[in-house]
Chain A
Amino acid sequence: MAAPLVELRGIAKTYGRGEAAVHALTDTDLQVYPGQVVGLLGPSGSGKTTLLNLIGCIVEPTRGRLDLDGETVYDGRWLRSDLRRLRLEKIGFIFQFHNLLPFLTAEENVAVALDLAGVPGAEARRRARALLDYLEVGHRSATLPSRLSGGEAQRVAIARALANRPRIILADEPTAALDSGRAAMVMDLLRRLAIEQQAAILVVTHDETIFGRFDGTVTLRDGRVVPNG
Chain B
Amino acid sequence: MNLALRDVRHNLGRFLLTCLGLSLLLGVVLSMIGIYRGLVDEALTLVRAPGADLWIVESGTRGPFAEASRIPGDTRDAVARLAGVAAAGSLTFQSVETAHRGRTLRLYVVGYEQGRPGEPKRLAAGRPITRSHYEMLAERRAGLEIGERVRLGRDFYEVVGLTEGIVASGGDPVVHLTLKDSQRLQFELDPPAARRELARGASPAGLDTVNAVVARMLPGVPAAGVAAEAARWKHLGALTQEDQEGLLLKSVVEKARRQIGLFTGILLAVSAVVIALILYTLTMDKVKAIATLKLIGAPDRTIVALIVQQALAMGSIGWGTGTLLILLAKDHFPRRLLLLPEDALMLGAAVLVLCVAASGLGVRLALKVDPATALGG
Residue from A84, A87, A160, A176 in contact with B377 in the complex, judged by beta carbons closer than 8 Å: A176
Interface string of A94-127 (1 = CB under 8 A from B): 0111010111100010011101110001001000
Across chains A and B, the number of contacting residue pairs, with CB separation under 8 Å, is 81
Nearest-Cβ distance from residue A140 to partner chain B, whole angstroms: 17
Q: Is the CB–CB distance between A96 and B377 below 8 Å?
A: yes
Decide yes or no whether B372 CB sits under 8 A from chain A. yes
Asked whether B7 lies within 8 Å of A58 as measured between CB atoms, the reply is no
Contact present for B289 and A95 (CB under 8 Å): no
Q: A52 near B: Cβ within 8 Å?
A: yes
Interface-central residue, A95, A117, A124, by most chain B CB under 10 Å = A95
From A157, which residue of chain B is reached at the shortest CB distance?
A: B292
Closest chain-B Cβ to A104's Cβ sits at a distance in Å of 6
Question: Which residues from chain B contact A180 at a C-beta distance below 8 Å?
Answer: none
Kindly state whether residue B376 has any CB partner on chain A within 8 Å.
yes
Contact A172 B376 (CB under 8 A): yes
Q: When A49-B376, A103-B7, A104-B6 are in contact, do A121 and B1 touch as well, CB less than 8 Å?
A: yes
Q: Does A210 count as interface, using CB distance less than 8 angstroms?
A: no
B282–chain A nearest beta-carbon distance, Å: 11
Q: Given A102-B289, A144-B10, is A87 in contact with B297 using a C-beta cutoff of 8 Å?
A: yes
Tell me if A222 is interfacial: C-beta within 8 Å of chain B.
no
CB distance from A49 to the nearest CB of B (A): 5
Q: How many whole Å from A114's CB to the nearest CB in chain B?
A: 9
Closest to A97 in B: B377
Give per-residue flags for A144-182: 1 if the beta carbon is below 8 A from chain B beta carbons, else 0.
100000000000000010000000000011001000000
Once the chains bind, are B1 and A102 in contact (CB under 8 Å)? no
Please determine whether A84 and B299 come into contact, CB atoms closer than 8 angstroms. yes
A77 to chain B, nearest CB (A): 20
Q: How far is the CA of A93 from the CA of B294 in the complex (A)?
A: 11
A45 to B298, CA, bound (A): 29
> Is B10 a contact of A88 with CB atoms below 8 Å?
no
Q: Hey, which chain B residues are within 8 Å of A116, CB to CB?
A: 296-299, 302
Q: Is the beta-carbon distance between A99 and B288 smaller than 8 angstroms?
A: yes
Interface positions, chain B 31-61, Cβ under 8 Å from A, are: none
Tell me how far the C-beta of A192 lies from the nearest C-beta in chain B, rounded to whole angstroms: 22
Asked if residues B377 and A173 are in contact (CB atoms below 8 Å), the reply is: yes
Q: Which residues of B contact A111 (CB under 8 A)?
A: 1
| B residues less than 8 Å from A160 (CB atoms) | 296
A49 to B377, CA, bound (A): 11
Given contacts A96-B377, A115-B1, A144-B10, contact A101 B289 (CB under 8 A): yes
| A residues neighboring B (CB under 8 Å) | 49, 52-53, 56, 58-59, 84-85, 87-89, 93, 95-97, 99, 101-104, 108, 111-113, 115-117, 121, 124, 144, 160, 172-173, 176
Interface residues of B (CB under 8 A from A): 1, 3, 6-7, 9-11, 288-289, 292-299, 302, 370-372, 374-377
Lowest 3 A-B CB distances belong to which pairs?
Answer: A88-B297, A103-B10, A103-B7
Can you list 13 A-B contacts (CB < 8 A)?
Answer: A53-B372, A53-B375, A59-B372, A84-B298, A93-B375, A99-B289, A101-B292, A104-B3, A108-B6, A112-B3, A116-B299, A121-B1, A173-B377
